[in-house]
Amino acid sequence: MTPEELKNSILQLAIQGKLVEQRTEEGTAEELYQQILAEKQQLIKEGKIRKQKPLPEITEDETPFEIPKGWEWVRLGDIFINITLGGAKPKNFSNKKTDEFNIPLIANGIKNNGIVGYTSKALIKEEALLVYGRGSNVGKVNIINFPFTPIVNNIVLEFSNKTCLSFLYYVFLLMPEKSTGSAMPQLTKGVTVNKMIPLPPLTEQKRIVAKIEELLPYIGRYEQAWNELEELNKKFPDDLQKSILQLAIQGKLVEQRPEEGTAEELHQQIQAEKKRLIKEGKIKKGKPLPEITEDEIPFDIPESWKWASVGDTCTNIQYGTSQKSLKSGKTAVLRMGNIQDGKVDYGDLLYSSDVSDINKYILLPGDLLFNRTNSKELVGKTAIYKGDKPAIFAGYLIRITPVLLDSDYLNYVMQSQFYWTYCQTVRSDAIGQSNINAEKLKGFFFPLPPLAEQKRIVAKIEELLPLCEKLKWDGQAT
């Protein structure tokens, strides 16, 4: 896990209400929300802010994840006191701070808090959240805790003391709003006003911020160690493993043998076996997949091979259980954290005693597990279940059963750069996570060799990969 992934994981726990416990004595977000609305009504009555148009109610379909009881999903426009758009640079300003020009002008930029000069009048006098509305930093956010004047399409949000500005800052870090436009990406006032965020009670907001800031120094140390290791790894051929897998799936790692038949013959056997299983009621008939066209083929493969899809060559493509797992029980439940580097990791297991779930989701040796929801870098990771211990699988995983294929060969295909490029192409992104559904998985097509050649490829890969690891670590030791 990279330092950025670690930080995002902590922030994800924070905004989902999983970083600190909930305390009933701290009230509810609904109560807080009503207090904020009452404060805004009073400010409108006093002529200090303008009345805004009502915002649409938040529907259940819009909410990207579950939040604790006592929290609320709210639109940003309902909880800020004021929103200000940065304008043109004022006529009277100075590049340097002087007695007359001592109010910072802030434009799009992270360096030096975005300060690009100084003027004589502060448009924003209180602490505020500044969102960069245009350019390369679009969507990034900063807390400005001194009087300033925003310019160049910045969006400034001012909140009352009934919200914790640092909590909102961390929400923005993990949930940046998507920009519009292609030539010059930008955020609009309308998009910002309608942005949804999870709102806890105020005291809990402050406790969440305290916990995050307690953990940040540890992330800093982890990042330093990570960077040092990255520097070490640069001394060695990082792409060696990728090269081996690419040679393997292009038919260049082992020789082809005519006596082993062709992939076309194997493909026909697979289809015949699937028809038999359908006839016996063991699997359901799936929708036909589009044929693979010549334009889609990314590289040449041997004449005895064939391009084939997961949907054509596998069965039992099934989402896992949605039931909550337990610390103890009859059968292990494999989750996305149990898939590591193409293998099943049996550490940190949870369990199920639900007989119905166990019967429905029990894994068989050779089943391939596919991680359908994760960070954008990790979504799509896979592992082969070898039957080391009885297990079922959780809802963020999809089970795939290869038919007359070597499961290890398919798993190695799914460790290749060719496969990861496909995952990055088809993934859909939501707040803090990415997803690849079963239909996209079925559509992944890959080079299919004859079965005997698959087994020889697997044997050669497993001969070479340990040597890659040894080379890497021996090099680091020097």
Could you write out the DSSP letters of every residue in 208-248?
HHHHHHHHHHHHHHHHHHHHHHHHHHTTS-TTHHHHHHHHH
Local confidence band at 475 (pLDDT 50, 70, 90 cut-offs): very low
Residue 15, helix vs strand vs coil: helix
> 3-218, superfamily in CATH?
DNA methylase specificity domains (3.90.220.20)
d(CA 36, CA 28): 13
Pull the structure tokens for residue 202. Answer: 């105020």
d(CA 362, CA 253): 35
Best CATH choice for the domain 240-477 from the list 3.90.650.10, 3.90.220.20, 3.40.47.10, 3.40.50.300: 3.90.220.20
Local confidence band at 89 (pLDDT 50, 70, 90 cut-offs): confident
Give yes or no for a contact between 208 and 12, defined as CB atoms under 8 angstroms apart: no
Local confidence band at 478 (pLDDT 50, 70, 90 cut-offs): very low
Give yes or no for a contact between 429 and 376, defined as CB atoms under 8 angstroms apart: yes
The mean-pLDDT minimum among 151-160, 258-267, 297-306, 361-370 falls in 151-160
Give yes or no for a contact between 20 and 167, defined as CB atoms under 8 angstroms apart: no
Local confidence band at 224 (pLDDT 50, 70, 90 cut-offs): confident
pLDDT digits over 414-443, tens only? Answer: 999 999 999 999 999 887 789 999 999 999
pLDDT digits over 113-168, tens only? Answer: 778 889 888 888 888 888 887 766 777 888 888 999 888 778 889 998 899 999 99
From 242, 398, 391, 287, select the one nearest 330 (Cα to Cα).
391
Following DSSP, what letter does each residue of 28-72 receive, concatenated?
Answer: -HHHHHHHHHHHHHHHHHTTSS---PPPPPPPGGG--S---BTBE
Strand partners, 371: 397
> What is the value of pTM for the model shown?
0.52
Pull the structure tokens for residue 15. Answer: 């905004």
Look up residue 326 and give its DSSP letter: B
Pull the structure tokens for residue 236. Answer: 């060695």
Give yes or no for a contact between 365 and 385, defined as CB atoms under 8 angstroms apart: yes
Q: For the chain, where do the domains classified as CATH 3.90.220.20 start and end?
A: 3-218, 240-477
Q: How far is CA 314 from CA 9, 81, 311, in A?
A: 33, 56, 6
* Predicted local confidence at residue 472, as pLDDT: 57
Q: Which residue has the higher pLDDT, 239 or 286?
A: 286
Q: Which residue has the tokens 């060559």?
A: 313
Following DSSP, what letter does each residue of 385-438 receive, concatenated?
Answer: ---SS-EEEBTTEEEEEESSS-HHHHHHHTTSHHHHHHHHHH-EEETTEEE--H
